[in-house]
């Protein structure tokens, strides 16, 4: 169970819809409109009345009895509103003073224990005690809701609610204000966007209560209280309203495990609202998405957000296969019961092992263990379960290299999954024994180095470069995100046996960057408590420069999807988060809001698109794409005629150590590149002193698709600090 014990939580809930839900009619749609508030006439007492007046002024162009409807107004993370209107009304609205941009509302999708021990968090030393377990830091979770009765949200041992808290515990269907406490300090729900988009839609739970289980799982991962003995046997305007309200309510960390399909930053609600949150000193942690493993599948590469990739943990849910010759093999299984499989006949032949039809499986002997070889076959495990349940076999040994099986809890039929190399012993024994038999034990858990090193990059985790802005290396960091145990809706099915026995649980195992993101949110809360004077950029930098690019065997982190080859920073960012090292990083790369403004101003947006993000309180007098960031990326185009390219970066680091310190640089250059650092030594006379350096990378474009990576590390002389930044040389993102 995750443990960020004294961190208060506010849950901002919205109604999740699947992508195939019909949206508004062709005549009227729901639009998110961004405004420049500096244009608001003094005659209006609030932005709400100004926006209402604007909608009234355009209603005559619609030539219909229907009037435009104001759904939400926003004034904290950004300025603007959501409204239902016709295209003609929108065109008229665009001529209004202060109008910046508008886009249609869209569907939002979720990017969907032992991990705190895997991250080396403990009660004796390190980040937990140093932060007083996150005392008084508030995390806002934007998700599908919460199941407040879960033991993960009990407030045993919690301190008083921070005095700066401005939020409420909103009552609703099956949810009253008494369900909040000193752990769950607030809850609000937002569904007006979906109501406006789909008039007459049935809201099955009109409150902050979580029906899908996703929000409960994410929230308990980020800030869940300790629970002993647990085990496992929308629409974007609504999410946007939640973010805007969280900023107003006074959160310190925003945890957003959601994805939008919009590529452009000026039309991405998380990017726009996240900028406003960062402006107010709030760290925004977002999930990278689950579109991997292909190149450039990361859509939301928001430079001012902490983008989190998903990795495995050193926990293996297993069943032990024992052959009649006493040979044992540890297989993978999530079958949710202790099935009796003792000395059953083991059946193997090449024809039957295809297991690709009900007719074929009907030939399996009664009460047998059948071997199914899914290697290089088109047989889907999903259909195999159904076919096996109608066969005479009692158990299946499944030969597969599909790593997605290791992320799924769906295992409705007794069996184990083994690799082709492990299968050789099984096939040899079954083929050469007169009466082959086997036994299997279930519901086993293995921790440690075997059978696979951890962490490893999840195959589903989205990969960079980011399509929204490839000039900053994304994702930033990796955290546990595969089969994470956390609280869930107890009335939602979490597993099944056969085709018609559905099981529920108070806690469940889920996989995805949705599960990785709240780990980073929780660690950020602990760092904020330990270092209340650090900016969001400093907290992010501390985690990135101390992240570990190696697994628990000391070797580079592998990629589960590509035969466990070495992962690149386009998948893992700086590496696996190391909370205790982040407490004392030595140096940090800091950045203020003006630095992010300068970055946005360099992105070749129109003035209106730029102001949609940065608003009118900043100007573009000093545009710069060289953000003071703890990582480096150099892009090239794949072309026949290779050319030499040069990219120069300037960085400034702040000494957050205890006093004077000297650092020397160590360079691990990407293959085929030359790296020059100037100066190569940084001397700090006191704490909080800043020093700058330049990094110049000379590299060549390539005539084929090649990704090379390296790093620079500032190493403290006669000290304990090492400050590492990854470097990637990669092809750029195509426009398709």
Give the DSSP H/E element, type plus range, for residue 167. Answer: none
pLDDT at 107 over 80: no
| Cα–Cα distance, 658 to 663 (Å, whole number) | 14
Condensed to tens digits (0 to 9), the pLDDT of residues 385-408 reads 888 888 888 999 999 888 778 777
Range of the domain at 662: 627-731
What is the rounded radius of gyration, in angstroms, for the C-alpha atoms of the chain? Answer: 27
For the ranges 77-81, 136-140, 197-201, 529-533, the lowest mean pLDDT is seen at 197-201
Confidence of residue 112 (pLDDT cuts 50, 70, 90): low
* In a shared domain, residues 114 and 260: yes
For the ranges 62-66, 260-264, 270-274, the lowest mean pLDDT is seen at 62-66
* In a shared domain, residues 619 and 631: no
**Residue at 23 is within a domain:** no
* In a shared domain, residues 326 and 426: yes
**Residue at 159 is within a domain:** yes
The two three-digit tokens of residue 308, written as one number: 């989190």
Q: Say how many domains are in the chain.
A: 5
| Stretch 616-624: mean pLDDT | 87
| Stretch 638-664: mean pLDDT | 94
* 194 vs 662, higher pLDDT: 662
Alpha helices, DSSP H, located in 343-380: 358-361
* In a shared domain, residues 38 and 124: no
* In a shared domain, residues 179 and 308: yes
**Residue at 133 is within a domain:** yes
* 549 vs 499, higher pLDDT: 549
The share of the chain scoring above pLDDT 90, in percent, equals: 49
| Stretch 650-656: mean pLDDT | 98
Return the pLDDT at 410. 84
**Residue at 284 is within a domain:** yes
Q: Which of 445, 477, 498 is the last residue of a domain?
A: 445
Q: Which of 392, 416, 445 is the last residue of a domain?
A: 445
Return the pLDDT at 57. 86
Give the DSSP H/E element, type plus range, for residue 323. Answer: strand 315-323
Tokens 């090449």 locate to 350
pLDDT at 214 over 60: yes
**Residue at 2 is within a domain:** no
Classify the phi-psi angles of 62: left when phi > 0, otherwise alpha if psi is within -120 to 50, otherwise beta.
alpha
* In a shared domain, residues 116 and 205: yes
What are the CA-CA distances from residue 83 to residues 17, 58, 237, 639 (Å)? Answer: 19, 12, 10, 47
Task: Write the CATH number for 71.
Answer: 3.30.70.80
| Cα–Cα distance, 426 to 390 (Å, whole number) | 24
Task: Write the CATH number for 160.
Answer: 3.40.50.200
> Which residue, among 316, 504, 319, has the nearest Cα to 416 in the 3D structure?
319
Return the pLDDT at 22. 42
Rounded to 10 deg, the angle between the 269-279 and 236-249 helix axes is 10
* In a shared domain, residues 324 and 428: yes
| Contact call for residues 115 and 576 (beta carbons, < 8 A) | no
User: Is 114 exposed, middle or buried, given 0-12, 13-18 or 19+ CB atoms closer than 10 A?
Assistant: middle
Return the pLDDT at 183. 84
Confidence of residue 376 (pLDDT cuts 50, 70, 90): low
* 118 vs 82, higher pLDDT: 82
Task: Give the Cβ contact number of residue 156 at 10 Å.
Answer: 11
| Cα–Cα distance, 187 to 176 (Å, whole number) | 10
| Beta bridge pairs of residue 690 | 654
| Stretch 329-341: mean pLDDT | 88
Return the pLDDT at 485. 79
- Residue 656 DSSP SS3: coil
> Which residue, among 432, 670, 426, 434, has the nearest Cα to 570 in the 3D structure?
670
| Stretch 254-278: mean pLDDT | 87
* In a shared domain, residues 174 and 301: yes
* In a shared domain, residues 392 and 504: no
pLDDT at 125 over 80: no
* In a shared domain, residues 419 and 540: no
The two three-digit tokens of residue 58, written as one number: 């355009």
The share of the chain scoring above pLDDT 70, in percent, equals: 90
**Residue at 22 is within a domain:** no
Confidence of residue 188 (pLDDT cuts 50, 70, 90): confident
Return the pLDDT at 15. 55
Confidence of residue 228 (pLDDT cuts 50, 70, 90): low
Confidence of residue 24 (pLDDT cuts 50, 70, 90): very low
60: Cβ contacts below 8 Å, ≥ 6 apart: none
pLDDT at 6 over 80: no
Condensed to tens digits (0 to 9), the pLDDT of residues 524-535 reads 999 999 999 999
* In a shared domain, residues 270 and 396: no
Q: Which of 445, 479, 500 is the last residue of a domain?
A: 445
pLDDT at 5 over 60: no
Return the pLDDT at 3. 43
Return the pLDDT at 382. 75
Return the pLDDT at 16. 54
pLDDT at 93 over 90: yes
For the ranges 223-232, 270-279, 288-297, 673-682, the lowest mean pLDDT is seen at 223-232
* In a shared domain, residues 237 and 94: no
Give the residue numbers annotated as catalytic, written as ranges.
143, 214, 514
* 208 vs 579, higher pLDDT: 579
pLDDT at 23 over 50: no
Instruction: Look over the chain and give the mean of its residue pLDDT values, rounded to a whole number.
Output: 86
Confidence of residue 19 (pLDDT cuts 50, 70, 90): very low
């Amino acid at each position: 169970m995750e443990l960020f014990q004294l961190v208060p939580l506010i849950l901002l809930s919205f109604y999740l819809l699947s992508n195939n839900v019909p949206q508004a009619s062709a005549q009227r749609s729901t639009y998110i409109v961004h405004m420049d508030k500096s244009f608001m006439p003094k005659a209006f007492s609030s932005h709400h009345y100004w926006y209402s007046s604007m909608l009234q002024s355009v209603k005559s162009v619609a030539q219909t009895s229907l009037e435009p409807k104001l759904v939400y107004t926003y004034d904290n993370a950004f300025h603007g509103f959501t409204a239902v209107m016709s295209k003609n009304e929108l065109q008229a609205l665009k001529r209004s003073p202060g109008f910046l941009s508008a886009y249609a509302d869209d569907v939002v999708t979720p990017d969907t224990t032992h991990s705190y021990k895997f991250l080396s968090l403990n009660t004796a030393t390190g980040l937990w005690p140093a932060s007083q377990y996150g005392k008084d830091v508030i995390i806002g979770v934007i998700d599908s809701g919460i199941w407040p009765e879960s033991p993960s949200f009990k407030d045993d041992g919690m301190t008083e609610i921070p005095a700066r808290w401005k939020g409420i515990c909103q009552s609703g269907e099956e949810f009253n204000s008494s369900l909040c406490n000193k752990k769950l300090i607030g809850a609000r729900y937002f569904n007006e966007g979906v109501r406006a988009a789909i008039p007459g839609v049935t809201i099955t739970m009109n409150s902050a209560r979580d029906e899908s289980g996703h929000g409960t799982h994410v929230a308990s991962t980020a800030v869940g209280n300790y629970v002993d003995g647990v085990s496992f046997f929308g629409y974007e305007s609504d999410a946007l309203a939640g973010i805007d309200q969280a900023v107003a309510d006074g959160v310190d960390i925003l945890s957003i495990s959601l994805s939008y399909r919009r590529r452009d930053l000026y039309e991405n609600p998380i990017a726009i609202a996240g900028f406003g949150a960062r402006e107010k000193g709030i760290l925004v942690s977002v999930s990278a998405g689950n579109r991997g493993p292909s190149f450039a599948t990361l859509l939301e590469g928001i430079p001012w957000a902490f983008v989190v990739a998903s990795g495995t943990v050193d926990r293996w849910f297993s069943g032990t296969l024992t052959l009649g010759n006493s040979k044992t093999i540890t297989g993978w299984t999530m079958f949710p019961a202790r099935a009796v499989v003792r000395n059953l006949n083991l059946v193997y032949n090449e024809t039957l092992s295809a297991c690709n039809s009900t007719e074929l499986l009907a030939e399996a002997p009664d009460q047998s263990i059948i071997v199914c070889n899914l290697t290089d076959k088109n047989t889907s495990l999903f259909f195999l379960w159904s076919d096996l349940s109608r066969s005479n076999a009692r158990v299946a040994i499944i030969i597969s290299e599909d790593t997605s099986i290791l992320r799924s809890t769906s295992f409705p039929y007794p069996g184990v999954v083994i690799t082709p190399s492990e299968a050789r012993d099984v096939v040899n024994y079954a083929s050469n024994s007169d009466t082959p038999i086997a036994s299997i034990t279930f519901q086993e858990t293995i921790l440690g180095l075997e059978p696979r090193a951890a962490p490893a990059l999840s195959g589903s985790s989205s990969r960079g470069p980011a399509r929204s802005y490839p000039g900053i290396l994304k994702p930033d960091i990796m955290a546990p995100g595969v089969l994470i145990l956390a609280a869930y809706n107890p009335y939602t099915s979490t597993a099944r046996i056969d085709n018609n026995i559905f099981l529920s649980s108070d806690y469940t195992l889920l996989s995805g960057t949705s599960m990785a993101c709240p780990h980073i949110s929780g660690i950020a809360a602990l760092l904020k408590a330990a270092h209340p004077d650090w900016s969001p950029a400093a907290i992010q930098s501390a985690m990135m420069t101390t992240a570990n690019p190696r697994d628990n065997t000391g070797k580079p982190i592998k990629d589960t999807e590509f035969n466990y080859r070495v992962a690149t920073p386009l998948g893992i960012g700086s590496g696996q988060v190391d909370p205790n090292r982040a407490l004392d990083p030595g140096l940090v790369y800091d950045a203020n809001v003006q630095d992010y403004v300068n970055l946005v101003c360099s992105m070749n947006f129109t003035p209106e698109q730029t102001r949609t993000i940065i608003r009118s309180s900043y100007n573009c007098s000093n545009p710069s794409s060289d953000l003071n960031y703890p990582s480096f990326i150099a892009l090239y185009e794949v072309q026949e005629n290779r050319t030499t390219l040069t990219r120069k970066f300037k960085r400034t680091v702040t000494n957050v150590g205890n006093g004077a310190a000297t650092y020397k640089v160590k360079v691990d250059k990407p293959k085929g590149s030359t790296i020059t650092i100037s100066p190569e030594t940084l001397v700090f006379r006191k704490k909080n002193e800043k020093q700058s350096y330049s990094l110049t990378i000379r590299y060549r474009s390539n005539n084929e698709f090649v990704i090379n990576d390296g790093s620079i590390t500032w190493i403290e002389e006669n000290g304990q600090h090492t400050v590492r930044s990854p470097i990637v040389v990669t092809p750029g993102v195509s426009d398709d």
